[in-house]
Amino acid sequence: MQKYIISGGRPLNGTVSISGAKNAAVAIIPAALMVRGVCRIENLPDISDTDTLLRVLEIMGASVRMINRTTVELDCTSVSLDGLSEEVWALTRRIRASYYLIGAMLGRFGRACSTMPGGCNFGVRPIDQHIKGLNALGANVRVDGGFIRARAENGRLRGARIYLDKVSVGATINIMIAAATAEGRTVIENVAREPHIVDLANFLNSMGADVRGAGTDVIKVRGVPSLHGGTYALIPDQIEAGTYMAAVAAAGGCVRIENVIPKHLDCISSKLREMNVEIEDGDDYVVVRRDGLLCHADVKTMPYPGFPTDMQPQIGAVLCCASGISAVTEGVWDNRFKYFEELRKMGATVKVDGRTAIIIGVDRLTGATVRACDLRAGAAVVIAGLAAKGVTRVEDVQYIERGYEDIVGKLRALGAEIRCVDEPDEPTSRRTDWLAG
Ligand code: EPU
């Protein structure tokens, strides 16, 4: 299996360019299923999750043409549900975002079928709000035998007023996609406001939909009969940018992080400034510098514009090297602290009590063999390895490559000593199926 070998303790310096947003891409590719005509998507991240979804559309009959590494032309005019097969299910089981295919198939065909989504294991990951929303739009949804099946009464969804009982990124996206071609008006209340929700709304609108209010807590969709082709460029990845910011904070140095929307990084920048990291905002870049001691800080994750849960492991790794005692509270997922087991192998001192972790910063972490428990947990151990004294070996890196484009190449260009090698696992390492999320 592939591993990363990191010789830590070198500061990061130079410039890194951020790729398109993973969580926008994994919503927009399924949404493209609704488009009749050629849909050109630019600034697509080159990661395994997008490859998986593009392959699903291809098996279902779409023409998928890569124009270059980050631009794809998709034509889903000839897609049909006849293409659904074991080959599709093997792919949809791997990724969380496959549930967006349900909203898109319902919107396009009035019927849908997919597997229950895979996903990083952060405790229970219910989909009741997705089902509530799709039911309200007139779909009869059944979950059995590991599959989700749905059918619209009279073959077409109809607009409705929907209140989400929980602020859910996934449910907001799925309902928005399905409502785009429903008959009449849909109002979705208490929605998520993450940047990729706005990106999806902009994508749908550029293909002829009428979606308003994305970025606020009420989204209004006036259904249109169908979506037409067009061109759309994805926003930069807020979490990839935050991950490089955290890496500089942990390893020290000075890095210009380009192709970002600094506004999307405000909550991350504020927290890092509290920790004695200097951050300068430009129009589409930030410069991150750390040369003094890191200070402790308390962090609580919340839906946007709060501190993102998808940055919690990376900031947790930085706090392990900060002076003093920090408290990290996870406000979104039940169980997103498994990565601390790995960081403890590197000398981190952490006590976890339910949804709060108390970290007592140490002067220096030390290299060890650790595994990427999931995508962001993987980023956290890489960050810890960059800051640590000695050599860190990171196993199960396939998780990391689901969501970070060329992380090894980007870090090497900043002066990190990191390389990817193919070697057998140590006998003690625990293996898991790498279903993704
Ligand atoms: N929830 C429900 N019912 C639902 C849906 C969600 O109770 O029907 C709860 C969840 O259990 C959780 C909270 O609502 O406690 C938020 O879940 P949400 O639906 O927002 O998460 P998601 O859509 O499954 C996406 C990202 C995650 C990210 C979360 C929160 C994708 C593919 N995944 O997941 O990203 O952590 O939003 O921001 O967009 C990652 O990129 O590493 C990742 C895991």
With a 6 A CB cut-off, is 309 part of the ligand 1 pocket? yes
**Sequence-ordered list of residues with C-beta below 8 angstroms from that of 90, at least 6 positions apart, any chain:** none
Taking Cα atoms as reference points, which of 388, 358, 393 lies closest to residue 378?
393
Cα-based distances in Å from 294 to 114, 254, 289: 47, 14, 11
**What pLDDT was estimated at residue 427?**
56
Q: Is 295 an active-site residue?
A: no
With a 6 A CB cut-off, is 168 part of the ligand 1 pocket? yes
| Token code pair at residue 43 | 């600034």
Q: Which atom of ligand 1 sits closest to the CA of residue 375? A: 42
With a 6 A CB cut-off, is 23 part of the ligand 1 pocket? yes
* Burial (CB count <10 Å: 0-12, 13-18, 19+), residue 108: buried
| Token code pair at residue 381 | 């151990």
| Token code pair at residue 188 | 């979705």
**What pLDDT was estimated at residue 423?**
81
With a 6 A CB cut-off, is 375 part of the ligand 1 pocket? yes
Quote the ligand 1 centre to 67 CA distance (angstroms).
31
**Sequence-ordered list of residues with C-beta below 8 angstroms from that of 94, at least 6 positions apart, any chain:** 52, 118, 434, 435, 436
Maximum pairwise Cα distance, the chain: 65
Q: Which atom of ligand 1 sits closest to the CA of residue 97? A: 32
With a 6 A CB cut-off, is 297 part of the ligand 1 pocket? no
Q: Which residues pair with 115 in a beta bridge?
A: 147
**What pLDDT was estimated at residue 215?**
98
Taking Cα atoms as reference points, which of 280, 105, 303 lies closest to residue 197?
303
Quote the ligand 1 centre to 358 CA distance (angstroms).
24
Active-site residue, selected from the candidate residues 120, 267, 320, 321: 120
Q: Which atom of ligand 1 sits closest to the CA of residue 96? A: 32
Quote the ligand 1 centre to 168 CA distance (angstroms).
6
Per residue in 147-189, pLDDT (tens digit) is 999 999 989 999 999 999 999 999 999 999 999 999 999 999 9
Q: Which atom of ligand 1 sits closest to the CA of residue 332? A: 15
Pocket test for ligand 1, best of 22, 23, 47, 400 (most atoms within 8 A of CB): 23
* Local structure of 250: helix, strand or coil: helix
* Local structure of 279: helix, strand or coil: strand
Taking Cα atoms as reference points, which of 115, 38, 119 lies closest to residue 84?
115
Residue nearest to atom 18 of ligand 1 (CA): 168
Residue by residue, pLDDT tens for the chain (437 residues) are 899 999 999 999 999 999 999 999 999 999 999 999 999 999 999 999 999 999 999 999 999 999 999 999 999 999 999 989 999 999 999 898 999 999 999 999 999 999 988 766 676 789 999 999 999 999 999 999 989 999 999 899 999 999 999 999 999 999 999 999 999 999 999 999 999 999 999 999 999 999 999 999 999 999 999 999 999 999 999 999 999 999 999 999 999 999 999 999 999 999 999 999 999 999 999 999 999 999 999 999 999 999 999 999 999 999 999 999 999 999 999 989 999 999 999 999 999 999 999 999 999 999 999 999 999 999 999 999 999 999 999 999 999 999 999 999 999 999 999 999 998 766 544 333 333 44
Taking Cα atoms as reference points, which of 383, 395, 384, 391 lies closest to residue 422?
395
With a 6 A CB cut-off, is 336 part of the ligand 1 pocket? no
Q: Which atom of ligand 1 sits closest to the CA of residue 128? A: 8
**What pLDDT was estimated at residue 117?**
83
**What pLDDT was estimated at residue 120?**
67
With a 6 A CB cut-off, is 120 part of the ligand 1 pocket? yes
**What pLDDT was estimated at residue 119?**
64
For tokens 């897609």, the residue is: 79
Cα-based distances in Å from 171 to 13, 28, 174, 193, 212: 40, 14, 5, 12, 17
For tokens 């399905």, the residue is: 178
Q: Is the alpha carbon torsion for 103, 108, 110, 111 positive or negative?
A: negative
Spatial separation of the C-alpha atoms in residues 108 and 259, rounded to whole Å: 34
Quote the ligand 1 centre to 202 CA distance (angstroms).
21
Taking Cα atoms as reference points, which of 143, 249, 173, 77 lies closest to residue 257?
249
